[in-house]
């Protein structure tokens, strides 16, 4: 004779409800499966990234030994001819090598910008190697290099912190002992940011406590605006201010007056 189901079992079948323990078990299984998959993919991605960084550092070390160690030392410890690179960070290497200033062609009061000798991937490898030697400023994030910041704020910051050397229009200018502040009209946004961050040669360091990353982006926006918009006053005369303007007046305006005077005198005679 068949057994008769209990009233609670008949009620559970009639309502179609599962036991509360079954729901909890399914939830736990789902969480464990999701967590395990995430951990597996994260570990794999981390291992792949770590392998790429190690490969870049190894390549950078070889490039450094072949092109930089003669001055900076095999371990980048520096020498009487060049400073140590331990702790200068990836940003300094990217600026110096990315603008062609390094490797230097010759010593002098100031190392000038020249043609770049390395590819982008080689520069990245050199930067990764030097960055591995000690903590230092990193290459800036792309979000600060768009040139879409506050131009008015950037102009004010540039006048206060930069114009005394680079000129209010970024045209550059002479310094002492044969040094100079370079023209900024053709400098990329990344290299401008890195120069503020690392203070190459005679330039002071503007770290994030002096000028925040957003304010650096505002300065870049101001310089980008100058590059894209012509001088509202017409002929810019090199953006050198009263010096070039006075010279222009002296040579052309006064010269014209003298020429007309001579012509009128000769004509009357």
- pLDDT tens digits for the chain (269 residues)? 455 555 555 555 555 555 666 666 666 676 677 766 666 655 554 555 677 888 899 999 999 999 999 999 999 999 988 999 999 999 999 999 999 999 988 888 888 899 999 999 999 999 999 999 999 999 999 999 999 999 999 999 999 999 999 988 888 888 988 899 999 988 999 999 999 999 998 899 999 999 999 999 999 999 999 988 876 666 665 656 666 667 767 777 778 888 888 888 887 76
Alpha-carbon span 105 to 83, nearest angstrom: 16
Alpha-carbon span 144 to 8, nearest angstrom: 67
CB neighbours of 200 closer than 8 A, spacing ≥ 6?
Answer: 92, 95, 96, 101
pTM: 0.71
Alpha-carbon span 137 to 206, nearest angstrom: 11
Going along the chain from its start, the domains and CATH numbers come out as 47-139 (1.10.760.10), 141-257 (1.10.760)
Alpha-carbon span 41 to 43, nearest angstrom: 6
CB neighbours of 261 closer than 8 A, spacing ≥ 6?
Answer: none
With contact defined as beta carbons under 8 Å apart, do 96 and 200 qualify? yes
Alpha-carbon span 141 to 144, nearest angstrom: 6
Decide: helix, strand or coil at residue 174: strand
């Amino acid at each position: 004779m068949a057994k008769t189901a209990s009233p609670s079992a008949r009620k559970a079948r009639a309502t179609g409800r599962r036991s509360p323990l079954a729901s909890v078990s399914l939830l736990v299984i789902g969480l464990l499966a999701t967590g395990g998959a995430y951990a597996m993919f994260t570990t794999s991605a981390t291992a792949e990234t770590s392998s790429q960084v190690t490969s870049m550092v190894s390549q950078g070390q070889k490039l450094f030994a072949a092109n930089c160690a003669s001055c900076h030392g095999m371990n980048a410890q520096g020498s009487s001819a060049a400073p140590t690179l331990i702790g200068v960070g990836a940003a300094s290497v990217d600026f110096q090598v990315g603008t062609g200033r390094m490797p230097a062609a010759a010593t002098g009061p100031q190392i000038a910008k020249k043609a770049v000798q390395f590819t982008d991937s080689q520069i990245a490898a050199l930067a990764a190697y030097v960055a591995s030697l000690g903590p230092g400023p990193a290459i800036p994030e792309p979000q600060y290099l768009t040139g879409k910041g506050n131009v008015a704020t950037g102009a004010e910051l540039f006048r206060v912190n930069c114009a005394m050397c680079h000129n209010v229009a970024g045209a550059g200018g002479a310094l002492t002992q044969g040094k100079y502040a370079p023209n900024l009209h053709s400098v990329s946004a990344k290299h401008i940011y890195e120069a503020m961050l690392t203070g190459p040669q005679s330039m002071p360091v503007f770290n994030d406590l002096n000028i925040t990353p957003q304010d650096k982006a505002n300065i870049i926006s101001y310089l980008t605006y100058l590059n894209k918009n012509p001088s509202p006053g017409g002929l810019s005369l090199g953006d050198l201010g009263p010096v070039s303007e006075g010279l222009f007046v002296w040579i052309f305006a006064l010269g014209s007056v003298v020429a007309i005077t001579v012509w009128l005198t000769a004509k009357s005679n």
